Amino acid sequence: MKAAPHEVSREQLISDFKVVIADAEALLKASADHGGDKVAALRAKADASLSAMKAQIGDAESKLVDKTIATAKATDEYVHENPWSTIGIAAGVGLAIGLLLGRR
């Protein structure tokens, strides 16, 4: 199934934030030799905000990886404990998809 355009995965969101942070850092470095005290203060504040955002994205990414690993382990355990139920569910899903595709 294809996701709706307004639905964004967490992985894509993290990737997009990383690109925005990299672009903002490049902008800060490019403007380092321009402006006075006010610009320097704004640059320092923006740099601090970017550092905080990097830390938050790193935490979110590690939590996402941990949840993915936990989900994979739980699925593996369920399949090993209930192989016939899993086969039945997979067959039912395959049949439903086949019927839906056959109508087109």
pTM exceeds 0.75 for this model: no
Range of the domain at 18: 10-102
Which of 31-45, 67-81, 83-97 bottoms out in mean pLDDT, i.e. has the lowest? 31-45
Q: How far apart are CA 43 and CA 28, in angstroms?
A: 7
Q: How many H helices and E strands in the chain?
A: 3, 0
Q: How many domains does the chain have?
A: 1
Q: How far apart are CA 11 and CA 81, in angstroms?
A: 30
SS3 34: coil
Any domain includes 1: no
The pLDDT score that the predictor gives to residue 1 is: 44
Any domain includes 3: no
Any domain includes 45: yes
Indicate the pLDDT class of residue 88, thresholds 50, 70 and 90.
very high
